[in-house]
A and B are shown apart, each in its own frame.
Chain A
Amino acid sequence: MVSMLRRFLPVLYITLVVLITVTLLNFTESITRAQIEARQHERIEALLFELFPEMSDFFFEDDLYTIFDNSTEIGYAFLATGVGYAGDIDVLVGLEDATTLKGITVVSHQETPGLGDRITESDFINQFRGLDIDGVALRKDGGQVDGATGATISSQAVVDAVREAAMEKIKELR
């Protein structure tokens, strides 16, 4: 009986340790949750403002942000993900209507500093302002976007991600 107990003691011990730590983690999570959500909301709001400076409010449902200016719908925004040179590139895409882009902004990426990260510079990004959806392709593929110098793969990834995601969302919106 005593040897039985001795055998189970380590199991009980680590179970107890796990129970205590999980409780403490739950507690920490509950304190920080509101703050984390507020930060994420702030961040998205700031990014949407970059695309729609006239925005007064936005509404999020089914991965789609609907942008309002004093209760008038002025556009949509959604996230697109492309596979870059060193990892995923997340891009926020703004749509003015079913055929025209409002603009794009790079949310996160891991591209090479000084080369691939030129996709975040305004020279590249501003080409998407007011661009017709059919023009979203690199110039060599018959589109209207010039790839950023030294960032061929990264530019291709952004263009492909924006086009594919926009086509899909437009289909859903119709």
Chain B
Amino acid sequence: MAGFVREFTKGIVISNPIFILALGLCPALAVSNTIDNALGMSVGVIFVLLGANIIISLIRKSVPNIVRIPTFVVIIASFVTIVSLVFQAYVPALHESLGIYLPLIAVNCIILGRAEAFASKNPVTASIADALGISVGFALALLLIAFLREILGTGGLEVAGTSLFTLPVLSEHPLALFVLSPGAFLVIGLLLALFRRIGAIKHE
């Protein structure tokens, strides 16, 4: 049980996929413009990573080494296709706003990275903890970026169509830059610097 907790928390803090490992930056930049998009992407990644880690951990002893990577990719891509179909059927608006970045989860290096580095070497329970930790770490990072970008870029916060709050001056003159791609680079860059600094302080 202690092992489970350790594998889980590792992904959130000390090997946070975005802020520490700097993996999966493409979706982190592209779909962190609103909280809704960040939530949708996170749900997709949690499902795919969990599914892929479980299956890969189960077959890890039977898979021939030479076709290891192709097998992992087929399994990951299948989970992504399932997510894509389900989103299209039940949350079409989200499916549309995530656009190409939903199918691109298949080539997200976080997923193949965990399959290769963890699930192919560890038993199922540990792989589940690893998948949950890493994807929750990814989700939290994505939500933090989206939170800052949506507030700065629109002057308010909206979750699933209901407005949580609007700031007085900022909503009339929003900094549209933060909703656009350059804003994503600025926010992620500053957050990365901040997390590095915190890490450095702890090290001393």
Contact = CB atoms under 8 A, between A and B. Distances in A.
For chain A, which range describes its interface: under 10, 10 to 19, 20 to 34, or 35 or more residues? 20 to 34
A17 B88 CA distance: 25
A139 interface: no
A114 B173 CA distance: 11
A71 interface: no
B96 A36 contact: no
Contact of B89 (A10, A21, A32, A113): A32
Contacts of A29: 85
B88 A32 contact: yes
A11 B63 CA distance: 11
A10 B85 contact: no
Interface string B65-108: 01100110011001001100110111010001000000000000
Contact of B64 (A9, A24, A36): A9
Given A10-B67, A113-B176, A114-B176, A36 B88 contact: yes
Interface string A12-54: 0110011001001100110010011001100100000000000
B85 A17 contact: no
Given A25-B78, A39-B88, 4 more contacts: A13-B71, A18-B74, A28-B85, A32-B86
15 contacts: A13-B62, A13-B71, A14-B71, A17-B74, A18-B74, A24-B78, A25-B81, A28-B85, A32-B88, A35-B89, A36-B88, A36-B92, A39-B92, A43-B92, A113-B176
Interface of A: 9-11, 13-14, 17-18, 21, 24-25, 28-29, 32, 35-36, 39-40, 43, 108, 112-114
